[in-house]
Amino acid sequence: MGAISTDLPPARFDHPNPAAIVEVMSFAEIQQLCAGSVAAKDMPARGAYLGCSFRSGPVCFVYIARIPEMETTRRHEIGHCNGWSPRHER
């Protein structure tokens, strides 16, 4: 849910989420979409976004950039869907 980070979430958050809907977008589209996220407003700018996620009731929308790190970014963002905070606690 934030600026460049390819960290994987801790094991307790790193599992599939059947309520997650994943959409792959261009890098430019991700910059526009993710810059408006709640996490982005709470965090200092740290560079470009690789992805972000937003909850709407039980559904979690995951948006990731079409880049080589897509799988890592997907797991990172689904970790947020599973309760991993934007502070990226370990």
Give 56-90 pLDDT, tens digit per residue. 999 999 999 999 989 999 999 999 999 999 889 98
Q: Under a CB-based contact definition with an 8 Å cutoff, are residues 49 and 11 in contact?
A: no
Whether 3 has a pLDDT exceeding 50, the answer reads no
Sole residue written with tokens 């309520």? 19
